[in-house]
Amino acid sequence: MPTEILMPALSPTMEEGTLAKWLVKEGDTIQSGDLIAEIETDKATMEFEAVDEGTVGKILIAEGSEGVKVNTPIAVLLEEGESADDITTAAAQPEAAAAADAGAAAASGGGSDAPAAPATPAPAAAAADGSRIFASPLARRIAADKGLDLSALSGSGPRGRIVKADVENASAAAPQAAAKPVAAAPAPAAAAPAGPSADMVAKMYETRSFEEVKLDGMRKTIAARLTEAKQTVPHFYLRRDIQLDALLKFRAQLNKQLETRGVKLSVNDFIIKAVALALQAVPDANAVWAGDRVLKMKASDVAVAVAIEGGLFTPVLQDSELKSLSALSAEMKDLAARARDRKLAPHEYQGGSFAISNLGMFGIDNFDAIVNPPHAGILAVGAGSKKPVVGADGELKVATVMSVTMSVDHRVIDGALGAQLLQAIVENLENPMVMLA
């Protein structure tokens, strides 16, 4: 039977995507590993490779289609000896089976007033040990109709794939193997509305002039994740002022020495290093929330928010505690540039245990950032500005002061532990030479 090519999950959190471009056309012969399409996720556009070999018999989803759910059939692949007629036949068989079932129900005296429910494909099956069962979509539908357990069948198709004949043979040999009907699960309670509906908002502003901006995948994901974070993560906030004069002086000296190498360190590079070392100094705070447990991380994987058109990325600098300031600077510049071009791979912006969001370059004095689960905290960094301060000797002086706010997930980090982490960050930034030790 023809093989359906399904919309892939290109990241662990991907639920739908945009089929941006087809790189093949109907009739093309492809091999395993060939690039066949470009898929746009919420964060990046990635190339999709073929898993099987064969001929592209039919493209089911046109390029440019948005909101294509993961595991939705997007094309049909024909194996040797198969033709386009097989695609039509395969599509017609479930409809014929449904019609036959309806006729049988009527003949046996079943009520005819209620409309017959449309046949739906069986969900992807899994064996008892959690491993995936490979079966054709038609085999899954027939097995669902007959109540057969796919995990009990052996496949005769390519690579052990369960096909129509395997299911029909099993049905004929062991009709008693039909699965027992399962009681329907109670319907979940309706969620409370999150605010005015789209129609209500449109009605509210119908007399005003406006431009409607369609939400792309990134904006939808940001809206969903941050709404969830603010509703489910118990935030608390810790604030400190940091004197930057020693750091600025030290940075100027380093940049002068690194000038011949084309390296120019930013204050943000020092902040990344300070956070990474602080997470090592306070290891209990280097953790993430995992639903029913806390995962204490060994390395300092620091995420840094990067603003792009229409949204933001948080690329992750792994093992930041082991890298030099110049290495962190170069890596951050590379990640930021590729983030703005939406060229980051999922593993480059997923993960991490702690994040940094710096709006100081926009003149923001201070702000409160939202924790991005499963991170346990995020440091919101404001601008450094000249302020009067009282020195250690009691005299009034002028210093460059930067205000920071650390937002913390109270499920992972308690107040005293959060204060220790923030203290370690402050000490690293006010004594920058210690970070090179």
Active site residues: 410
Give the span between the Cα atoms of 60 and 38, in whole angstroms.
15
**Alpha-carbon distances, residue 283 vs 39, 313, 404, 421 (angstroms):** 39, 26, 21, 9
Give the span between the Cα atoms of 276 and 314, in whole angstroms.
16
Is 434 within 8 Å of 428 (Cβ atoms)?
Answer: yes
Is 274 within 8 Å of 251 (Cβ atoms)?
Answer: no
Residue 398, classed as helix, strand or coil, is: strand
Give the span between the Cα atoms of 6 and 119, in whole angstroms.
19
First to last CA, the chain: 65
| Token pair listed for 339 | 């983030």
Other Cβ atoms within 10 Å of 156 Cβ, number? 12
**DSSP element (H, E) containing 165:** helix 164-173
Degrees to nearest 5, angle at CA 192 with 188 and 197: 120
Give the span between the Cα atoms of 16 and 224, in whole angstroms.
14
> b/e string for 299-313 if b means 16 or more Cβ within 10 A?
bbbbbbbbeeeebeb
Give the span between the Cα atoms of 99 and 104, in whole angstroms.
9
Phi/psi of residue 387, each to 5°? Answer: -140, 155
Non-local CB neighbours of 111 within 8 Å, separated by 6+ positions: none
> DSSP string covering 100-145, please?
HHHHHHHHTT--SSSPPPPP-PPPPPB-TTSPBPPB-HHHHHHHHH
In terms of phi and psi (left: phi > 0; alpha: psi -120 to 50; beta: otherwise), the region of 159 is left
Residue 192, classed as helix, strand or coil, is: coil
Is 272 within 8 Å of 302 (Cβ atoms)?
Answer: yes
DSSP letter at 375? Answer: B
